[in-house]
Amino acid sequence: MQVRKMALAVGAGLLLFTTLAGAQGRKPGLWEITTTMTWQQSPFPPGMQMPPQAAAAFGGAPRTIQYCLTQEMIDKFGAPMPQQSPRQSCQVANVQKTANSMSADWICTGAMSGKGSMESHWSDNGTATGKLHFVGTMQMGANPTPIEWTSQSTSVYKGPDCGSVQPPPMPAQQQ
């Protein structure tokens, strides 16, 4: 009888721990992320109008996307990773994770080279905030041009099913 009560108590404790551990972390599934990017040092000369494709990607207006966050991304990084263009190669380094936050370095080479520091904080209610500050250069014609920008985001969990939204490729991680 005592062994049975002990087994039930241990089982209930493990179930409670598993439930609490899951509630404290990020949830895999569909997230809606709204990001605003601001330039501290733009590659475009003052008064020059950005080309339409650059204005859409790098303009100061908020941009909202649907993002499929996988359990693999949560386990490896703790948060969604910034998207990158085919003309650049970025890696994640120095990942630090806690129960409700992460921080890391974002190191890029290619058309945009430099280093960024990123952080993300989330809560049990399915919301999160993030920030990425990047300093480097962008290839503008024959010469690299200094750049500095900050991207701030808010995220809302939409549910466990990503539907037609595919997860982005996992970035490489420096050892």
78 beta partners: none
8 pLDDT tier (thresholds 50, 70, 90) = very low
- Give me the chain's average pLDDT, please: 81
Residue 171's pLDDT band (cuts 50, 70, 90): confident
**How much is the pLDDT for 105?**
97
pLDDT at position 2, please? 28
State the amino acid at position 153 in one-letter form.
Answer: S
Question: Do 69 and 26 touch, CB atoms closer than 8 A?
Answer: yes
pLDDT given at position 146: 95
Quote the pTM value: 0.78
CA 64 and chain centroid, separation: 14
Residue with token string 């920030």: 131
More confident residue, 81 or 40: 40
Q: Is 87 helix (H, G, I), strand (E, B) or coil?
A: coil
| 47 pLDDT more than 90 | no
Average pLDDT rounded to a whole number, residues 88-106: 93
Strand, helix or coil for residue 15: helix
d(CA 44, CA 1): 77
Three-state DSSP at 76 gives helix
